[in-house]
């Protein structure tokens, strides 16, 4: 970001400005921004103002009302994109033991097999899934098996599509898998790029979880990890039946470590493992 050094420091957000920003984030992306995040919001808006060379948050709010496309930028700067390869690795263990064994037979029968990484951020989650699938089911590469990887933030999706990661980011991938599925980046040989075998399994799409979903076919597994934690309870509750509808009978929904389907009793899911839910 090319911030001019002479730009003034933004005045602290007023209550009203903070409420307006939080309301737009909630409307656009379902994000719940509590008062405790105020200084974070302040610093991210301040950076955006410097970039746009706008003097005050009032000018920025005016821009948000004049140019709806800026609302997407706002969502982009307010979302948390932290991710990593093999994050919460017990979920991949679960997939290896419970889900993958039946896939080859299904593929041989001509069934389609679909995974969805909903809120995929910079791509580590779908690419980890692709590594694990190719290791367990080498024929996945030439079968009707795909991973949809979606996110609301077009910028982070561009990074995910690039599929280039620093040495420390790929540290959690076993050396033999790194060697097999990643290559030295063509732009910078210090960096790693995911290889074509992984790329071919993943389809990236921009998608707001609170908008209409264009997918027509159900998924075997939906991973929506460390995403709904940023939504308020009402928005979370709206999602459970929608995820259920997008799963095959017996399909699994996998959430992040601090996320739970609540209330579980009336959700049409049962708990199968740690933050793994099975469609009943
Ligand atoms: C912390 S990352 C999680 C990445 C990955 N699932 C993981 O667990 O490592 C959260 C992602 O959710 C995305 N997100 C936030 N609100 C969203 C929405 N309404 N629709 C779709 N994605 C959203 C953000 O852009 C961000 O990339």
Domain of 52 in residue numbering reads as 15-78
Query: Which ligand 1 atom is the nearest neighbour of the CA of 207?
Result: 21
Helix or strand (DSSP H, E) at 2: none
Distance 152 CA to ligand 1 centre (A): 7
Q: What confidence score (pLDDT) does residue 6 get?
A: 43
Q: What confidence score (pLDDT) does residue 187 get?
A: 80
Distance 202 CA to ligand 1 centre (A): 17
* Same structural domain, 123 and 245: yes
Q: Is 9 a domain residue?
A: no
Backbone angles phi, psi at 203, to 5 degrees: -120, 120
* Same structural domain, 254 and 155: yes
Residues 12-34: tens digit of each pLDDT: 899 999 999 999 999 999 999 99
Q: For residue 119, what is the domain's CATH number?
A: 3.40.50.150
* Residues 56 and 8 sit within 8 Å (Cβ to Cβ): no
Q: Is 151 a domain residue?
A: yes
Count of the separate structural domains present in the chain: 2
* Same structural domain, 61 and 188: no
* Same structural domain, 195 and 243: yes
* Same structural domain, 178 and 235: yes
The CA distance from 146 to 52, in Å, is 39
* Same structural domain, 146 and 73: no
* Same structural domain, 73 and 103: no
Residues 203-250: tens digit of each pLDDT: 999 999 999 999 999 999 999 999 999 999 999 999 999 999 999 999
Whether ligand 1 lies within 6 angstroms of the CB of 26 is answered as no
Whether ligand 1 lies within 6 angstroms of the CB of 255 is answered as no
Q: Known catalytic residues?
A: 44, 151
The set of residues, in sequence order, having a beta carbon less than 8 Å from that of 203 and lying 6+ positions away, is 146, 147, 148, 149
Distance 77 CA to ligand 1 centre (A): 12
* Same structural domain, 106 and 230: yes
Q: Is 148 a domain residue?
A: yes
Query: Which ligand 1 atom is the nearest neighbour of the CA of 87?
Result: 9
Residues 161-182: tens digit of each pLDDT: 999 999 999 999 999 999 999 9
Whether ligand 1 lies within 6 angstroms of the CB of 79 is answered as yes
Segment 86-92 mean pLDDT: 98
Distance 120 CA to ligand 1 centre (A): 6
* Same structural domain, 48 and 95: no
The residue contributing the CA closest to ligand 1 atom 25 is: 153
Sheet holding 113-118, edge to edge: 202-206, 145-151, 113-118, 219-224, 247-255, 276-279, 269-273
Whether ligand 1 lies within 6 angstroms of the CB of 48 is answered as no
Counting beta carbons within 10 angstroms of the beta carbon of residue 47, is it exposed (0 to 12), middle (13 to 18) or buried (19 or more)?
A: middle
The CA distance from 213 to 205, in Å, is 11
The residue contributing the CA closest to ligand 1 atom 27 is: 121
* Same structural domain, 39 and 170: no
Segment 38-48 mean pLDDT: 95
Whether ligand 1 lies within 6 angstroms of the CB of 151 is answered as yes
Q: For residue 49, what is the domain's CATH number?
A: 1.10.155.10
* Same structural domain, 47 and 125: no
Q: What confidence score (pLDDT) does residue 2 get?
A: 44
Helix or strand (DSSP H, E) at 139: none
Q: Is 274 a domain residue?
A: yes
Question: In whole angstroms, how far apart are CA 21 and each of 155, 218, 235?
Answer: 20, 35, 18
Segment 4-14 mean pLDDT: 66
Distance 110 CA to ligand 1 centre (A): 32
Whether ligand 1 lies within 6 angstroms of the CB of 153 is answered as yes
Domain boundary among 25, 49, 78: 78
Q: How confident is the model at residue 152 (pLDDT cuts 50, 70, 90)?
A: very high
Q: Is 125 a domain residue?
A: yes
Q: Is 85 a domain residue?
A: no
The CA distance from 52 to 25, in Å, is 19
- Helix ranges (DSSP H) in 189-260: 196-199, 233-245
* Same structural domain, 192 and 221: yes
């Amino acid at each position: 970001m090319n911030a001019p050094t002479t730009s003034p420091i933004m005045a602290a957000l007023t209550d009203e400005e903070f409420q307006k920003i939080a309301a737009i984030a909630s409307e656009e992306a379902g994000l719940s921004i509590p008062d405790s995040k105020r200084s974070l919001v302040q610093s991210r808006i301040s950076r955006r103002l410097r970039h746009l060379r706008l003097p005050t948050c009032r000018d920025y709010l005016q821009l948000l009302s004049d140019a709806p496309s800026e609302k997407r930028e706002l969502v982009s700067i307010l979302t948390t994109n932290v991710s990593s390869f093999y994050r919460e690795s017990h979920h991949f263990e679960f997939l290896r033991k419970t889900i993958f064994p039946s896939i080859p037979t299904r593929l041989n029968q001509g069934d389609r097999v679909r995974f969805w990484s909903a809120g995929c951020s910079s791509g580590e989650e779908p690419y980890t899934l692709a590594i694990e699938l190719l290791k367990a089911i080498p024929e996945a590469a030439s079968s009707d098996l795909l991973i949809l990887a979606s996110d609301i933030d077009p910028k982070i999706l561009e990074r995910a599509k690039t599929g280039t990661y620093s040495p420390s980011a790929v540290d959690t991938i076993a050396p033999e898998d790194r060697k097999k599925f990643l290559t030295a980046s063509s732009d910078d040989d210090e960096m790693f790029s995911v290889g074509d075998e992984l790329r071919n399994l993943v389809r990236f799409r921009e998608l707001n979880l609170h908008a209409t979903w264009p997918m027509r076919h159900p998924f075997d597994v939906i991973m929506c990890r460390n995403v709904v934690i940023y939504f308020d309870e009402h928005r979370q509750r709206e999602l459970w039946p929608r995820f259920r509808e997008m799963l095959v009978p017996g399909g699994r929904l996998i959430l992040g470590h601090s996320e739970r389907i609540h209330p579980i009793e009336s959700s049409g899911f049962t708990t199968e493992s740690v933050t793994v839910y099975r469609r009943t």
